[in-house]
Amino acid sequence: MPKTNDPSLKSWVPVPADSDFPIQNLPFGIFKSNSGNPRLGVAIGEYILDLSALAKEGMFDQIPFDKNVFSLSTLNSFIALGKHTTNAVRERISELLNINNQEVQGNESLKSKALVKQSDAQMLMPVSVPNYTDFYSSREHATNVGMMFRDPANALLPNWLHLPVGYHGRASSIVVSGTPIHRPKGQTKTDAEAMPSFGPSKSLDFELELAFITGRATALGESITTAQAEDYIFGLVLFNDWSARDLQRWEYVPLGPFLAKNFGSSISPWVVTLEALEPFRAEGPVQEPEVLPYLKYSGKKNYEINLEVAIQTPNGVSKTVSHSNFKYMYWNMCQQLAHHTVNGCNISVGDMYASGTISGPTSDSYGSMLEITWGGKDPVQMPDGTERKFINDNDTVVMKGYAERDGVRVGFGECVGKILPSK
Amino acid sequence: MPKTNDPSLKSWVPVPADSDFPIQNLPFGIFKSNSGNPRLGVAIGEYILDLSALAKEGMFDQIPFDKNVFSLSTLNSFIALGKHTTNAVRERISELLNINNQEVQGNESLKSKALVKQSDAQMLMPVSVPNYTDFYSSREHATNVGMMFRDPANALLPNWLHLPVGYHGRASSIVVSGTPIHRPKGQTKTDAEAMPSFGPSKSLDFELELAFITGRATALGESITTAQAEDYIFGLVLFNDWSARDLQRWEYVPLGPFLAKNFGSSISPWVVTLEALEPFRAEGPVQEPEVLPYLKYSGKKNYEINLEVAIQTPNGVSKTVSHSNFKYMYWNMCQQLAHHTVNGCNISVGDMYASGTISGPTSDSYGSMLEITWGGKDPVQMPDGTERKFINDNDTVVMKGYAERDGVRVGFGECVGKILPSK
């Protein structure tokens, strides 16, 4: 295990017991405080460590790279340096934050410049996203949707167990946690209606997902094997793939979801590195029938990450409507990336690859309202006496995710999105 | 009609009778010659007019904008200036190239710097593409594919006549004309086979399309009406949406095409402006049933543009396999953009929106081999005695497009792609 994951590590920065950001995590993000331009930071407890401020004082001089990458408004140039460098930076940060290290801890002037309270900062989109792909890799989710949208007797389509089904989504409308989203308008038609009608979506849903971000590019024609894939994955974020079910049902044949999804997707601002998740590796499900050779893999490629979704009503009451786990995924990230590139499709630094809705085996672990309420048939009872079939105007959806082992909690923070009425 | 379209205009640069690039066209592109970095040029006859060289001599001083945009490696910053500026630049170029104007014509030193033979230059990707959408807007194509892939009796799916069906494609793998593409490998399974197999695609196809490029961005939540749409469209290129039919047939349910398309798309290098196409407007087809209000439009929104596709065999013989026309499109670009944004999806400068395969009513006007050979049942006989069901290794596909009226031919040049064997 890398030394940065050692459960015994402690930081001189106070880290509350329930914090997602102990010294074992060190996720990267882009922040903006009252003073200064957007720049790179690392979350520690309730603070942000300002990497540009540390670099100006020579704290990364032993690692050879252009320190200006810390003063940019996206992580792309930093993560493009490659894991050799980004891991060295993360190890150096771990060293600087260690309770036994005095380089920053003992330098009051630097400490005051380099530590920014998260409550005093605004988090921005961590990466510029050149391409966004959404997979569909939870067997439970695909089965549930297939039962409701298509044929209950043949819910899982014939290809599903042979390849990680995916499609291209809209990169432009991925926004950072906290950005409100207007309820989309669009065409809908039920089987009972003769003609489609137009108006605000009546069944606006979330989808609980995680997304990985690639830190390394390939040229057109190149492929990545399952064994190579982890070297291309920089880290992960929470991903809310907002979905307008009524639009989707009408528009999606034969070429897939379009306006039902591209009005907005929300992500958490901190990119948790694959290295920070190392202690939480888990066995994936047995894949039967056997997959084709290019999809075979060895080792533990799933991750045990607790996930939850809460709905906050406009009057401020909140209810957690799902507890799921990333370990449920049928297809893992290495298989997804190997499949995506097996035809020579080139990938870029900053590309985002969402998992698809992460549903578990029971209804309290389903990752969308479509599944939780079974298409609206079984509404969620809210503590204020209202009920939800889908998401109402002025509701806020809050997703959280964290892994926990040996007393160490490595988390993603929150992915928050409020639905505003249609424009 | 804008003065730049006047059929009586002549340039002092010689323009061969069959050239796509008379003074009435003036398409923009990015080129690189032996000397110098990538930069902006305009095609005129067999030459490229180097806009950065002209700007350095003050030829655009009367138009206020940062002339450094002419020295960049994409058109994005230039087209982001807006139509007010880009049209003024195009009008100024028309003036400078006019046979009665001496500013460049009479300045031997500037002329030698500003005119580069196309045969001495390399054309590069004209734009950086933040997002790519592919529509499916030819009724003939959708009907033909529906008959072959699904149900001949209900070839057109229920939504097709009510909205311009589209999906998101892969931006990273769009390449400029001349870039070879390796035959993709992937999973396929026919109904007769019990299990999928893996290997090079056996039915690699082209799709004859045109794509428009947006020159103006919107914010998330904003919509563009059909009446506003033309102000957002900078221009068009030829687009070859390479498709691996055997991969597509197996993978595409339920979320649409993925690996069957994202191994590469080819575009022509010159962006023909909407203004240059003004004289070639045409009535669109009657849309019945009546479309919803947000898809209604007034005026002529189709364009009469002749399109053709030729296959060149490895031994150098060529056969034109399709003659189609952009006027056949059922859904026009204004409707596509209005639909795309009606839910608030934000668009970016440089986004590309392909039409979908442009098939006409007869088999010699079909825009893909799938349709031309009716799924391989009726192969194309090549002049060298070979036949083609789909595209062979080392075949080259050449697409051309031009509009013609009053003795003026406004064309796109060529979109060329050679298929190399699988890696």
Q: Where are the beta strands (DSSP E) in A197-296?
A: 197-200, 204-205, 208-214, 233-240, 243-244, 265-267, 272-273, 281-282
| Nearest-CB residue to B292 (from A198, A259, A340) | A198
Q: Are residues B170 and B83 in the same domain?
A: no
Q: Are residues B247 and B348 in the same domain?
A: yes
Query: Which of A75, A18, A19, A72 is closest to A47 using CA atoms?
Result: A19
Structure tokens at B286: 């009657």
pLDDT score, position B96: 98
Q: Give the whole-angstrom CA distance, residue A52 versus residue A72.
A: 9
Q: Do A198 and B289 touch (CB under 8 A)?
A: no
pLDDT score, position A35: 79
In a domain, A207, yes or no: yes
Report chain A residues whose CB lies below 8 A from the CB of B263: 220, 343-345
In a domain, A127, yes or no: no
Minimal-distance CA residue of chain A relative to B264 = A345
**Burial (Cβ within 10 Å: 0-12, 13-18, ≥19) of residue B296:** middle
Report chain A residues whose CB lies below 8 A from the CB of B221: 181-182, 423
Residues 6+ apart with CB under 8 A from A15: A21, A22, A23, A44, A45
Q: Do B170 and A168 touch (CB under 8 A)?
A: yes
pLDDT score, position B291: 98
Please tell me the pTM assigned to this model: 0.98
Angle at A320 between CA A314 and CA A325, to 5 degrees: 140
Residues 6+ apart with CB under 8 A from B137: B164, B165, B166, B329, B330, B331, B332, B336, B355, B356
In a domain, A351, yes or no: yes
Q: Are residues B181 and B72 in the same domain?
A: no
> Touching check for A351 and chain B: CB below 8 Å?
yes
Q: Are residues B250 and B117 in the same domain?
A: no
Least confident of B61-70, B144-153, B382-391: B144-153
pLDDT score, position A397: 98
pLDDT score, position A150: 84
Query: Which of B348, B145, B220 is closest to A179 using CA atoms?
Result: B220
Q: Are residues A87 and A154 in the same domain?
A: no
Q: Are residues A225 and A301 in the same domain?
A: yes
Last residue of a domain, one of B68, B100, B122: B122
| Active site positions of B, annotated | 141
Query: Which of A249, A389, A400 is closest to A326 using CA atoms?
Result: A400
Mean pLDDT of B288-310: 98
Mean pLDDT of B174-194: 97
| Nearest-CB residue to A343 (from B158, B263, B293) | B263
Minimal-distance CA residue of chain A relative to B189 = A159
Number of domains in chain B: 2
Q: How many other CB atoms sit within 10 Å of the CB of residue A187?
A: 23
A286: containing domain: 132-420
A43: domain CATH number? 2.30.30.230
3-state SS string for A294-341: HHCCCCCCEECCEEEEEEECCCCCEEEEEEEEHHHCCCCHHHHHHHHH
Q: Are residues B75 and B138 in the same domain?
A: no
Q: How near does any CA of chain B get to the CA of A196, in Å? A: 8
Q: Are residues A279 and A392 in the same domain?
A: yes
pLDDT score, position A1: 62
Residue B97's SS3 state is: helix
Last residue of a domain, one of B122, B153, B170: B122
Q: Which residue has the tokens 């940062």?
A: B66
For residue B1, what pLDDT band results from cuts at 50, 70 and 90? low
CB A311 within 8 A of CB A287: no
Minimal-distance CA residue of chain B relative to A349 = B172
Q: Give the whole-angstrom CA distance, residue B96 versus residue B44.
A: 12
> Touching check for B185 and chain A: CB below 8 Å?
yes
Q: Are residues B139 and B108 in the same domain?
A: no
ipTM > 0.95? yes
Q: Give the whole-angstrom CA distance, residue B360 versus residue B308.
A: 11
* β A181-182/A174-176 pair status: unpaired
Q: How near does any CA of chain A get to the CA of B220, in Å? A: 7
The pLDDT tens digits for B235-276 are: 999 999 999 999 999 999 999 999 999 999 999 999 999 999
Q: Give the whole-angstrom CA distance, residue B226 versus residue B125.
A: 28
Helix (H) or strand (E) holding A134, with range, is strand A132-135
Q: How many other CB atoms sit within 10 Å of the CB of residue B244?
A: 27
Higher pLDDT residue, B35 or B55? B55
B-proximal residues of A, 311-350, CB under 8 Å: 339-340, 342-348
pLDDT score, position B36: 86
User: Best residue in B145, B253, B343 to probe A by mutation, most A CBs within 10 Å?
Assistant: B343
Q: Give the whole-angstrom CA distance, residue B230 versus residue B94.
A: 22
**Burial (Cβ within 10 Å: 0-12, 13-18, ≥19) of residue B193:** exposed
Q: Are residues A116 and A141 in the same domain?
A: no
| Nearest-CB residue to A184 (from B185, B289, B343) | B343
Q: Are residues B115 and B137 in the same domain?
A: no
In a domain, B127, yes or no: no
Structure tokens at A248: 């989707």
**Could you give phi then psi for residue A105, rounded to 5 degrees?**
-50, -40
CB B184 within 8 A of CB B247: yes
> Touching check for A220 and chain B: CB below 8 Å?
yes
> Touching check for A176 and chain B: CB below 8 Å?
no
Helix (H) or strand (E) holding B279, with range, is none
In one letter, which amino acid is B419? I
> Touching check for B182 and chain A: CB below 8 Å?
yes
pLDDT score, position B2: 73
Q: Give the whole-angstrom CA distance, residue A305 versus residue A319.
A: 20
One digit per residue, the tens of pLDDT, for chain A of length 423 reads 679 999 999 999 999 999 999 999 999 999 999 878 999 999 999 999 999 999 999 999 999 999 999 999 999 999 999 999 999 999 999 999 999 999 999 999 999 999 999 999 999 999 999 999 999 999 999 999 999 988 899 999 999 999 999 999 999 999 999 999 999 999 999 999 999 999 999 999 999 999 999 999 999 999 999 999 999 999 999 999 999 999 999 999 999 999 999 999 999 999 999 999 999 999 999 999 999 999 999 999 999 999 999 999 999 999 999 999 999 999 999 999 999 999 999 999 999 999 999 999 999 999 999 999 999 999 999 999 999 999 999 999 999 999 999 999 999 999 999 999 999
Query: Which of A271, A273, A243 is closest to A258 using CA atoms?
Result: A243
Helix (H) or strand (E) holding A84, with range, is helix A83-97
The pLDDT tens digits for B345-373 are: 999 999 999 999 999 999 999 999 999 99
Report chain A residues whose CB lies below 8 A from the CB of B259: 339-340, 342-343, 345
Q: Are residues A192 and A327 in the same domain?
A: yes
DSSP state of B183: P
Q: How many other CB atoms sit within 10 Å of the CB of residue A288?
A: 7
Minimal-distance CA residue of chain A relative to B260 = A343
User: What distances in angstroms separate CA B33 from CA A103, A286, B41, one per listed residue?
Assistant: 53, 56, 11
A388: domain CATH number? 3.90.850.10
- Of the residues A84, A141, A168, A182, only one is catalytic, namely A141
Last residue of a domain, one of B100, B122, B144: B122
Please state whether A89 falls in left (phi above 0), alpha (psi between -120 and 50) or beta: alpha
